[in-house]
Amino acid sequence: MAVIHNTTMTPGKLELLAAWLPSQSWYLGSTSEPALTKAGGFRLDDPQGEVGIEFMVVTDTSGDRPVSYHLPLTYRGAPLDGADEALIGTSEHGVLGKRWVYDGAHDPVLVAELFAFLQGRAEPQAQSVTDTPDPSVTARFTGPGFSTAVTSAAVADGRHGTDVVVETTARGVEPAGAVTLTVTRVLRPEAQPQAGTAEARGQVTAGWRSPDGAEHRGSFAVLQDTAR
C-alpha cells in the first residue's frame, strides 16, 4: 500500500513537468512555457513498496485553448538503470528525501502494474488519499491472459501517444506473445471517437476536470495485439 505524505517536493511536480513537456513529440503547446494545473489522476501500488506509481492529468492553459495531458509517473529512491532518457528530473521530498521522477511508460514496474490492473489483478487507488480505492477508474480486458512479468519492452513516442511493445510471459497454457500498450498522452472526452479502441484487447478509462470545472472521461491506455 502506497502511503500519501502531506509534505513538500522541491522542485514541485508541476515545475518539473513544465520544463520537460515542451521537448515531447506529443506536446501541442506553443513556444511559451506551459501553464500547468493538476486536473485529475489515480495511483497503482507497487507490490514491493519501492516505487511510487501515479497517473497524473495536467491541463496546459498557455495556448489558445486548454489541452489536458495524461502523464504516467514513477518516483524512485535511486536512479533506474538504463532510463536516463526517461528521467523527468529529481526532487527533494520532505519525508522520503531525494526522489528520481521518471516518465512511467519507460518504467517496467509501472508497465507491469498497468497490465495487472487491465486483467483485474490490481486495484486503482485515489490520487491523494492513502489506502482508498478509486472505483471511477475502470478497465476492460478480453482474450487470453498473460503474466504481468515484462521480459522486454520497446517504447516509441508518437504524435498523440506512446506505444510500449512488450513480449509477455506465458500464463497457464496460453503462449507468450507481443502486445502493444498505447498510453494516451493528449486526452479527449470519450464522446469523441478514439482510433483503435473498438478492436482493442483492453482499455483503461478514467476522468479529469477541465479549467471550467466540467468533468470528462476518456481513454488513458489501450492494449492491442502487436502485428507480426
Please report the pLDDT score of residue 143 as a whole number.
Answer: 77
Measured distance CA(223)–CA(228) in Å, rounded? 15
Measured distance CA(92)–CA(88) in Å, rounded? 14
- Please give the helix or strand (H or E) that residue 93 lies within, else none: strand 87-93
pLDDT along the chain (228 residues), means of 10: 66 94 91 90 94 96 92 96 94 81 95 93 90 94 74 80 84 68 92 58 95 94 84
Q: Which three cell numbers stand for residue 222?
A: 489501450
Please report the pLDDT score of residue 193 as a whole number.
Answer: 46
Q: What is the pTM of this model?
A: 0.90
Work out whether the CA dihedral 164, 15, 37, 61 comes out positive or negative: negative
Measured distance CA(97)–CA(63) in Å, rounded? 35
